[in-house]
Amino acid sequence: MHILVNTGGGDAPGLNAVIRAVTLSALRRGWKVTGIKRGYHGLIGGDSDGLIELTRDKVRGIAHLGGTILGTVNKGHPFEFLVTRDGKTVTTDISDEVVRRFHEVGGDALIAIGGDGAFRIASRFAKKGLPVVGVPKTIDNDLSCTQATFGFDTAVTVATEAIDRLHTTAESHERIMVVELMGRYAGWIALHAGVAGNAHVILMPEIPYDIEKVVAHIQTRYASRRRYCMVVVAEGAKPLHGDISTIGTELGREVRLGGIAEKIGNYLGDRTGFESRSLVLGHLQRGGSPTHRDRLLALRFGAAAVRMVEQGKFGNIVAYHPPRMVPVPIEEAIAVMKEVPLDSDTVMTARDLGICLGD
């Protein structure tokens, strides 16, 4: 058995732990493992370093490291590959070339580690006959097929520590501090880090916000001598009668979200007369070592993926349904996004603590 493995989409702490577990589990069975660099690019680019044999040595001491030793890309996937023709960048379908190369290098199974975007690609490859097993990865926690994905716990941990730090400076200056967190169209990171970090306001995509409710909440705080306010906003939060804030679009990649903290910070400052500052925590939430929880989860995902290959359960992703890892068809895995349920215990806790959710 020869397993090919790749990592696609935005990186998440824990990717290297999956790669290590896949490699060691496969080697123990007497199999061979090859890593494809930069998503699928390493398979088709013709680069000398596009494919790397994963040996025990290659995966030694990497489980605790952030990022991915294989590299990753989140634009120009094989069905919409970016090429330049007559000075213009256009997209083209090179998926057949990927399939051809997969067989040419003697691949028997592909373990694709990624999020919803990577699974959409994997699903199309499965339809073309590639024996694929997916491993779910995302800091956003927005995959409904699995109870958890690695990377989320680390992102929440980093964000919570940042909010803790912002409290002291916000309070010293009696400022409104608005911090923007990642999560795309789901508010998991903002909600969890906001509640854990004692935010006073949390805005997230699942609850379109009325900015005047936020203004009133801040005015009440200041009037009762709690003269500062910590506002946590998910990058995908949107106003009641408005749109998500975006930075721009680029050919072959998803729209980039961002800019909401600055907009809200400026508005709240002008409207209340209190000084405000805003910041974007950004990629700090994705970088660095995974927490022990993410590390363990990632190792479990990797080992389970190899067991699924052994059992011939292709066309599935490994899903965490505690206490087990189970196969879920890729199609099912990408069907519905996991949003924060409005009746969830964490949302109710936020309300019980008096945190303003903008509604």
Interface residues for ligand F6P in 3-62 (CB under 6 A)?
10
Compute the least distance from the CB of residue 73 to ligand F6P, in Å: 10
Q: Which of 41, 137, 184, 338 binds ligand F6P (CB under 6 A)?
A: 184
Distance CA 286, CA 302 (A): 19
Among 11, 140, 142, 294, the one annotated catalytic: 140
Which residue, among 278, 265, 164, has the nearest Cα to 215 in the 3D structure?
Answer: 265
For ligand F6P, give the closer residue by CB, 237 or 356.
237
CA distances from 250 to 33, 79, 127, 237, 273 (A): 34, 16, 28, 21, 38
Question: Site mask, ligand F6P, residues 121-160, x = CB under 6 A?
Answer: -----------------xxx--------------------
Question: Site mask, ligand F6P, residues 232-251, x = CB under 6 A?
Answer: ---x----------------
Instruction: Give the number of residues in contact with ligand F6P, rule: CB under 6 A.
Output: 12
Q: Which of 32, 51, 74, 108 binds ligand F6P (CB under 6 A)?
A: 74
- What are the tokens at 241? 């009668």
Question: Site mask, ligand F6P, residues 276-295, x = CB under 6 A?
Answer: ----------x---------
Residue 140 falls in the annotated catalytic set: yes
Q: Which of 35, 66, 134, 183 binds ligand F6P (CB under 6 A)?
A: 183
For ligand F6P, give the closer residue by CB, 90 or 247.
247
CA dihedral 120, 123, 127, 128 (to 10 degrees): 80
Radius of gyration of the chain (CA): 22
- What are the tokens at 184? 């795309």
Which residue, among 196, 143, 183, 195, has the nearest Cα to 332 in the 3D structure?
Answer: 143
Per DSSP (E only), the strands in 188-290 are 201-203, 229-234, 246-248, 256-257, 276-280
- Catalytic residue IDs: 140
Binding site for ligand F6P (CB under 6 A): 10, 74, 138-140, 182-184, 235, 256-257, 286
